[in-house]
Structure 1
Amino acid sequence: MADIPGARPVPISHLTRAQDRLTFIYLEHCVVHRDANAITARDARGIVHIPAATLGALLLGPGTNVSQQAMVLLAESGSTAVWVGEHGVRYYAHGRTLTQSARLLERQAALVSNRNSRLQVARAMYAMRFPDEDTTGLNMQQLRGREGARVRRIYRNHAQRTGVTWERRDYDPTDFTGGTPINQALSAANTSLYGVVHAVIVALGCAPGLGFVHTGHSKSFVYDIADLYKTDISIPIAFDITAREVSDIGAETRRAVRDHMKDGAFLETCVRDIKTLLADQPDVIEYGPEAFEDPDIVMLWDDNGRTVAAGTAYEEDELS
C-alpha cells in the first residue's frame, strides 16, 4: 500500500505537556504562516517566530490570514487555534488532544450523568472557592446563593480598592463597546481566561460541553473551571486596568491576563484541579503523553465490567 501523502503527525509522546506550555498569544492584522516547527506572524514591522510545540492557545483576531501549513503545525502540536472577534469574542476551533486515552473523558461523562455524583463534583468546585467553609450538605440552590454573595462582595471590595465606580455586571455579548469600562474589562479578561481553560480541557481529552454547574452549552465545563479562578485573575485585573483609564481597554486587559499567566503556574493549577475533580484517585492517575506508552491501543466495552481487545472477530459464545 502506498504511503499516505504529507508529513507524519508528531508522536504524542514528543509533545509538551499541557501544564508546561505558554498560556496564549493573541495576534491581529498579520499573516500567520509556518517556518519549520515555528508559527510566524508577519506584519509591516517584521516577522515574529512563535514555538508551536509549547503554545497552549493561539487567539487569531481581526485581520489575520492563516496558511494551511500553519494550521497543520498547530494541530500536530496539540495547540488550540481560536478565531476571535474584534474584542476577543467567540470560539471557533481547536487542535488535537495531548492524549489518546479516554480515561478522563469517560470519568467526566460518568460523573455528570449521575445526579448524586454531579452534585458531589459541584460541591467540590465550590469548596475550592470556599476553602474555609464546609459545603458537604449544601444543595445547588444554597451553593449558588453563597457564590452570588461572595462574588458581589469581591466586586465591591475591588471597587473600593481601585476607586472604580461599580454598579453591577451588565453587558451585551453583541455590543462590547456599549458596556461601561469596567464591564468591558471584565468581558475581555473572562474571554482570555476561557480561551486558556478551553485549551487545557481539550488537551486533556475532556468534553468542554459536559459541565457540572453550568449546563446546556457547548462550553459548560469551560465556564465551570474558569469560575474557579475569576476572583483571583480576571476580576482584580479588570479593575486595575479600568482604574488606569487606558485607550484600548480590551487589548490592555488581554495583555495583563497574559502577563499574569506567563510563569506557567496557572496551567499547572488548572490541570491539577481538573484531574482532582474528575479522578477517583487524583494522586495516582496520570495525564498527558507520559501516561501512555502505546497510544494506539483501542479496547471494546463489555457489559460484564471488563474490556476486550479490538480488531478481533469474536464468536457468539466466546465471552460467555
Structure 2
Amino acid sequence: MGLVGTPPPTRTELARVGDRLSFVYLERCSIHRDANAVTATTDRGTAHIPAATLGCLLLGPGTKITNAAMTLLGDCGASVVWCGENGVRFYAHGSSLARSSRLLEAQAHLVSNNRARLDVARKMYAYRFPGEDVSGLTMQQLRGREGARVRKVYREHSERTGVIWGKRNYAPGAFDQSDAINQALTAANAALYGVVHSVVVALGCTPGLGFVHTGHDRSFVFDVADLYKAEITIPAAFDAVAAGSENLASDVRRHVRDAVVKNRLLERCARDITNLLAPDLATEWEQIDELSLWAGPGKGEVGAGLNYEDQYS
C-alpha cells in the first residue's frame, strides 16, 4: 500500500543545489511532514520549511523526527546532519539531484590517475593563491605554502577582533577541553562540512574520493571545504568569540549561515566542484537522463534497452 497524501516534488521541480537555502538548524522540537514541507513544533508554535529548497538540515539536541519527514527530505535531496553537544557530525543525505553520473565518473577517473590527481590538487591550491602560478609545485611545497597562509589568516583575525590566538587545537571527543576560539572553529567548520557535503552528494559525486585528503569517507568534503574556511568559518569563529557569546556553538552557526548567504556559497561550491572535475560539462548536465551500456575498452558506449542478439557470436 502506497503512502497517502501529497506526492513529493519531481526532480525537475526541485531547486538546483546552488539556489537552495544553505542550512537550517533546529533543536528541542518535533519535526513532522505537512504536504511538501517539514514542520518544526515547539511549545511556541509550528514553523514550516519547504523541503524542495533546503540544502542541509542540522538536527541539534532534543529533536525528534518522523519517518514521513525523513522520507520527504530524502526525496528532495536534502542532507540531514545530527548535531551533538560536542560539535556536528554528518550522518545522512538524500538522493542526488543529478540524473547523470558524468561528474562522478570524472571524479573517479581523475583520482585514479596520479598525474590527473596532482593537477586537480594544484587547481584546488590555486584557488587559495589567485594570480600565482602553482603548476610546478610539489604537494609538499603546496602544503607548506597553505600552512603559512592559514597561520597568517588566524593572526590577522586575532588582531582584528582582539581574540587571543595560540594554535589550532582539536581532538575528536574532547570539544569541551579546548579554549573558546578552538571550540568556535570546530563548530563553524562542522557546519561548513555539512553544507559542502550536501552540495557534493547533490551533484552526484562521492564524498570519499578526495584529491588532497585521502583515506576517509568524507575526504572530498574536506578538500572542498578547505577552499572556503578563510572566508567563511575563521572570521565567523573569531567574531562569535569577540562578541562574548554565552551560547557559542549556536551563535557561530548563525555567523556561518550569514557568511554562506553573503558569499552565495552553495552556488559557488557547485560551480567550483564542476570546474575542478569536468569544466567542459554543459550547464544543464545534471538533468541529462541517458542510460547506456559500456561497449568495452576503447569502444565507448551503446544504447541500453536494446536486444543485441544479432551481434553475439
Please indicate the TM-score interval, normalised by the length of the shorter structure. Answer: over 0.9
Q: CA deviation at 1:62?
A: 1.3
Matches within 5 A, 1:1-320: 5-6=2-3, 9-262=8-261, 265-281=264-280, 284-288=282-286, 291-292=287-288, 295=289, 297-303=290-296, 304-315=298-309, 318=311
Residue aligned with 1:91, SS: strand
Q: Deviations over 1:71-99 (max 9, x none)?
A: 11111111111222124421111001101
Q: CA deviation at 1:239?
A: 0.8
261 and 88 in structure 1: CA distance in 2 versus 1, 3 angstrom threshold:
same
Q: Distance in 2 between matches of 1:165 and 1:250?
A: 18
Q: Could you tell which deviates more after superposition, 47-56 or 169-178?
A: 169-178
59 and 91 in structure 1: CA distance in 2 versus 1, 3 angstrom threshold:
same
Q: CA deviation at 1:313?
A: 4.0
Q: CA deviation at 1:305?
A: 3.1
Residue aligned with 1:308, SS: strand
Contact 1:29 1:63 in 2 (8 A): yes
Residue aligned with 2:116, SS: helix
Q: CA deviation at 1:9?
A: 4.9
Q: Distance in 1 between matches of 2:217 and 2:9?
A: 28
Q: CA deviation at 1:188?
A: 0.7
Q: CA deviation at 1:189?
A: 0.7
| Number of residue pairs the alignment of both structures matches | 310
Q: Distance in 1 between matches of 2:33 and 2:8?
A: 15
305 and 280 in structure 1: CA distance in 2 versus 1, 3 angstrom threshold:
farther
Q: CA deviation at 1:11?
A: 2.1
Gapped regions of structure 1 (runs ≥ 5): none
Contact 2:23 2:56 in 1 (8 A): yes
Q: Could you tell which deviates more after superposition, 215-224 or 84-93?
A: 84-93
Residue aligned with 2:3, SS: coil
Residue aligned with 1:261, SS: helix
Contact 1:19 1:264 in 2 (8 A): no
Percent identity between matched residues is 56
Q: CA deviation at 1:100?
A: 1.7
Q: CA deviation at 1:301?
A: 1.1
Matched residue type, 2:197 = H
Q: Distance in 2 between matches of 1:256 and 1:40?
A: 24
Q: Could you tell which deviates more after superposition, 57-66 or 83-92?
A: 83-92
TM-score (norm 2): 0.94
Q: Distance in 2 between matches of 1:45 and 1:9?
A: 28
Matched residue type, 1:249 = L
Residue aligned with 1:89, SS: strand
Residue aligned with 2:91, SS: coil
72 and 19 in structure 1: CA distance in 2 versus 1, 3 angstrom threshold:
same
Q: Deviations over 1:229-249 (max 9, x none)?
A: 000110011111111111111
Q: CA deviation at 1:257?
A: 0.7
What CA RMSD, in Å, does the superposition of the two structures yield over aligned residues?
1.7
Q: CA deviation at 1:312?
A: 3.5
Matched residue type, 2:206 = A
Q: Distance in 1 between matches of 2:64 and 2:25?
A: 13
Residue aligned with 1:138, SS: coil
Contact 1:20 1:264 in 2 (8 A): no
37 and 63 in structure 1: CA distance in 2 versus 1, 3 angstrom threshold:
same
Q: Distance in 1 between matches of 2:244 and 2:171?
A: 21
Q: Distance in 2 between matches of 1:125 and 1:139?
A: 13
Q: Could you tell which deviates more after superposition, 6-15 or 156-165?
A: 6-15
Gapped regions of structure 2 (runs ≥ 5): none
Q: Deviations over 1:134-176 (max 9, x none)?
A: 1010111111010001101111111111111111000222021
Residue aligned with 1:267, SS: helix
Q: Distance in 1 between matches of 2:279 and 2:56?
A: 29
Q: CA deviation at 1:261?
A: 2.0
